[in-house]
């Protein structure tokens, strides 16, 4: 029963989720549709499970970084302390805001923390990543062979077509850029999406049939 019951629950829930977007109309003898069953019952349970998963992830985060702060074996423990402190402050502040919806000052101060602390930090993080992307692009776009040369020329044309200086140099750069984005680039993206869709379908089918049992925790 340790294996059969979870597999049966997985099969039934996955089958209902699959048929909810395909089958319309009430089920004979029940008077409700599969979509109603999915929305009224399974959807709510998914929210509950997601909440428990978030709590579990938070506990794991506190344990991992709490050990790092307690041991202080490396100089990076200060970042773990900042992360834990931020987690506690945000959790307590948001809890107070939710329990006291009439306190407009607290809600405004919470928005200030997000707008003037978290948002600038995220912008700085993306700004730092820009240098890594630039260095990676330089290494990838070296014209060592025919494929790299095509990639280099295409990247230059796309950047010139998107930048205002490109249309000043030649008025056809924007048109060529749009063609590169709409035809070769879109073709590659559709191929990737098709492969990802087939992979997701095969994985879902394996889980539905009980072949894939990774969600059972190795049982």
Q: Which domain holds residue 145?
A: 141-219
Q: CA-CA distances (angstroms) from residue 197 to 59, 126, 200, 201?
A: 33, 29, 5, 6
Rounded Cα–Cα distance for residues 13 and 7 (Å):
10
Whether 76 and 146 share a structural domain: no
Per-residue confidence (pLDDT) for residue 215, from 0 to 100: 65
**Structural domain includes residue 28:** yes
Whether 88 and 180 share a structural domain: no
**Structural domain includes residue 30:** yes
Whether 79 and 147 share a structural domain: no
Whether 87 and 148 share a structural domain: no
Per-residue confidence (pLDDT) for residue 198, from 0 to 100: 93
**Structural domain includes residue 25:** yes
**Structural domain includes residue 61:** yes
**Structural domain includes residue 126:** no
Whether 167 and 81 share a structural domain: no
Q: Tens digit of pLDDT for each residue in 92-109?
A: 988 998 899 888 888 888
**Structural domain includes residue 111:** no
**Structural domain includes residue 53:** yes
Q: CA-CA distances (angstroms) from residue 80 to 23, 85, 87, 102, 157?
A: 50, 9, 11, 34, 44
Q: 10 Å Cβ neighbour count for 45?
A: 10
Rounded Cα–Cα distance for residues 76 and 65 (Å):
10
Whether 95 and 146 share a structural domain: no
**Structural domain includes residue 2:** yes
- Burial class from Cβ neighbours inside 10 Å (0-12, 13-18, 19+) for residue 166 reads buried
Which one of 76, 99, 122 terminates a domain? 99
Residues in the chain predicted with pLDDT less than 50, given as ranges, are none
pTM over 0.85: no
Which residues does 151 contact at the CB level (< 8 Å), separation at least 6?
140, 141
Whether 147 and 203 share a structural domain: yes
Chain centroid to CA 56: how far? 18
Total count of domains within the chain: 2
The two three-digit tokens of residue 183, written as one number:
């035809």
């Amino acid at each position: 029963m340790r294996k059969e019951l979870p597999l049966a629950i997985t099969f039934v829930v996955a089958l209902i989720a699959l048929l909810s977007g395909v089958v319309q109309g009430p089920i004979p003898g029940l008077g409700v549709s599969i979509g109603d069953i999915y929305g009224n019952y399974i959807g709510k349970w998914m929210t509950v499970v997601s909440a428990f998963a978030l709590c579990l992830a938070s506990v794991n985060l506190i344990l991992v970084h709490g050990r790092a702060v307690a041991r202080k074996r490396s100089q990076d423990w200060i970042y773990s302390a900042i992360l834990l402190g931020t987690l506690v402050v945000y959790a307590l502040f948001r809890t107070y805001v939710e329990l006291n919806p009439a306190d407009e000052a607290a809600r405004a101060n919470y928005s200030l923390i997000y707008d003037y602390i978290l948002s600038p930090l995220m912008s700085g993080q993306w700004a730092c990543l820009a240098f890594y992307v630039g260095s990676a692009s330089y290494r990838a776009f070296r014209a060592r062979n025919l494929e790299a040369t095509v990639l280099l020329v295409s990247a230059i044309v796309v950047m010139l077509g998107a930048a205002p200086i490109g249309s000043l140099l030649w008025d056809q750069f924007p048109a060529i850029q749009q063609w590169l984005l709409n035809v070769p680039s879109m073709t590659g993206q559709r191929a990737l999406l098709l492969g990802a869709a087939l992979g997701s379908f095969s994985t879902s089918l394996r889980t539905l049939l009980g072949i894939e049992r990774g969600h059972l925790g190795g049982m």
